Amino acid sequence: MMNHSQAAEEFTHDVDRTTWHDKTLWFVREKRDKAVFQIPEWEALREAASRIKHNALSNLDEYLLEFEQNAINNGVKVHWAADGREHNEIVLQILRETGATQMVKSKSMLTEECHLNEFLIEQGVDVVDTDLGERVVQLAKEPPSHIVMPCIHKKKEEIGELFHEHLGTEKGASDPKYLAEAARQHLREKFLTRRAALTGVNFAVAETGGFVVCTNEGNADMGAHLADVHIASMGIEKIIPKAQHLGVFLRLLARSATGQPVTTYSSHFHRPRACQAMHIIIVDNGRTTQLGRPDFRNSLKCIRCGACMNTCPVYRRSGGHSYHNAVAGPIGSILAPNLDMRKNADLPFASTLCGSCSNVCPVKIDIHDQLYKWRQVLAAEGYVDSSKKQGMKVMASVFANPKLFRFSGKAGRTMMRLVPFSVSNPLNPWYKQREMPEPPKESFREWYMKRSSKEQ
């Protein structure tokens, strides 16, 4: 498997696409800013959301029990899954009991994390993703590259080509309106014929036992309200204590995600329809472990808005797939090492630590601090490249020795002036896609010494 920097290098080979990807996501960040600036109490709202989530995590067992009891009283079946495999088997079991061999699914990052689609397809179940972006990546046999905009890495011409092949649209057609209409027709037929639907959960309310699903397309509702069985999959961290807290989170979510005042549909499910079965699967899959890590438990506050990705200079220029994890970007990079340190040791290094992610996070997760802390943990646990470690050691000894530091600086400046090829060559990673700067004639220290001697 390629690590982040290798995958990013591949992505950036196409300069035009990289620039386009960068600009498109920055455009979403700008829309977010516009929406946020209309709320004078934005910072207080973030603070409230953050503290509600802290409370929820610190009393999670009680809230989960309260939620479960209320959901059962509402006529919903509640299941618990320790990991992805158990979650997938529960889904399969429910489908078998229903006699359903086909299912429609709306967006759920949890099911991506559990690799539900692959599992069900192996078991002979036909799963159709119904969010437009998710359907696109499903047809392309790719994972989503963004949690809110799953196919943001694709150009409309590529989507046109996919739809031509799979949905029979005209060859060469790439008008987004035309393609979205084709997807509407194609997926309507699925909604009308599937007996089982799976949705994610944005918020689960302990106080009422209900859950809220937010979409713009209406696909979660089209699936759930037409199917005989509705399965809702949620991580344990989706719990919020009270219904009135939805006011805080719904004001933050869409503004942070896409710059909309609220999503088109905020659907509140409490009881199944007559003759319908409703199931909730509560999934751990590593979350309780993360809860036990004081430095990293705050990552469980995440409401999956994607704002940290849209603002991240590394994500925007490397694409979501370079993170090789269901959730990409800064938040993905602090969630992933918890699931598998060895596999995801590269991700906390895929950041400049600029802190933009923490600034836009609607629930005030200290994302860039956690990225930094993960680096320490991963190095201590031996998951960091020895070459990186060696380089850091050399640098540390240079910085710790003033004479050596001055000598190295001078040597570097002289070399760059006299033998520019010594640094401007492909072996130097800093030279890749960059011009090296003009070496200064003197160091700050030399300049300062001269200046102070003149003054005396």
Q: Do 234 and 283 form a contact (C-beta atoms < 8 A)? A: yes
- Side-chain half-sphere exposure of 44, counting CA atoms within 13 A: 3
- Tell me if 253 contacts another protein by CB under 8 A: no
Residue 360 touches another protein, criterion: CB under 8 A:
no
Q: What residues between 193 and 222 interact with another protein by CB under 8 A?
A: 205, 208-210, 216-219, 221-222
- Binders in 67-96 for another protein, by CB under 8 A: 70, 74, 80-82, 86
Q: How many CB atoms lie within 10 A of CB 120?
A: 22
Range 297-326, binding another protein (CB under 8 A): 297
Residue number, 227 or 371, with CB nearest to another protein: 227
Question: Dihedral angle at the C-alpha atoms of 263, 269, 275, 276, nearest 10 degrees?
Answer: 70
In the region spanning residues 367 to 396, those forming contacts with another protein, defined by CB under 8 A, are none
Alpha carbons 39 and 214: distance in angstroms, whole number: 21
Closer by beta carbon to another protein, 136 or else 371:
136
289 with 337: CB under 8 angstroms?
A: no
Rounded Cα distance, 317 and 454, in Å: 47
For another protein, which residue of 268, 342, 388, 450 counts as binding (CB under 8 A)?
Answer: 268
Task: Tell me which stretch binds another protein (CB under 8 A): 256-264, 368-376, 386-394, 445-453.
Answer: 256-264
**Token pair recorded at residue 311:** 């603002």
Q: Which of 22, 265, 355, 439 binds another protein (CB under 8 A)?
A: 265
- Output the smallest distance, CB 378 to another protein, in A: 21
Residue 207 or 446: which CB sits closer to another protein?
Answer: 207
Rounded to the nearest angstrom, the gap between the alpha carbon of residue 104 and the centroid of all alpha carbons in its chain is: 22
Draw the binding track, 340-359, toward another protein (x: CB under 8 A; -: no contact).
--------------------
The reply to whether 170 sits near another protein by the rule CB under 8 A is no
Of the candidates 30, 7, 11, the residue with the CA atom closest to the CA atom of residue 20: 11
**Minimum Å distance from CB 126 to another protein?**
19
Q: Is 130 in the site for another protein (CB under 8 A)?
A: yes
Binding another protein (rule: CB under 8 A), the pick from 123, 260, 424, 443 is: 260
Q: Of residues 5-34, which lie at the interface with another protein (CB under 8 A)?
A: 24, 27-28
The minimum distance between CB 43 and another protein, in angstroms, equals 11
Burial of 270 (C-beta count, 10 Å sphere; 0-12/13-18/19+): middle
DSSP one-letter code for 428: S
In 3D, which of 200, 202, 205, 203 has the Cα closest to residue 67? 205
Q: Is 57 in the site for another protein (CB under 8 A)?
A: yes
User: Which one of residues 3, 9, 10, 55 is an interface residue with another protein (CB under 8 A)?
Assistant: 55
Dihedral sign (CA 156, 158, 162, 167): positive
Instruction: Decide if residue 186 touches another protein (CB under 8 A).
Output: no
CB of 259 to another protein, least distance (A): 10
The size of the interface with another protein (CB under 8 A), counted in residues, is 92
Rule CB under 8 A: say whether 143 interacts with another protein.
no
Q: Report in angstroms how near the CB of residue 142 gets to another protein at its nearest.
A: 14
Task: Decide whether 18 or 130 has the Cβ nearer to another protein.
Answer: 130
Cβ atoms of residues 206 and 269 within 8 Å: no
Footprint of another protein on 270-299 (CB under 8 A):
270-273, 282, 284, 288-289, 291-292, 294, 297
Say whether residue 36 binds another protein (CB under 8 A): no
Cα gap 398→403, rounded to integer Å: 9
Do 352 and 342 contact (CB within 8 A), yes or no?
Answer: no
As measured in angstroms, the least distance from the Cβ of 89 to another protein is: 11
Residue 314, CA atoms < 13 Å, CB-side half-sphere = 26
Q: How far is CA 214 from CA 199, 322, 365, 405, 438, in A?
A: 10, 27, 21, 55, 52
With a CB cutoff of 8 Å and minimum separation 6, the contacts of 162 are 136, 139, 140
**Cα–Cα dist 11/318, whole Å:** 6
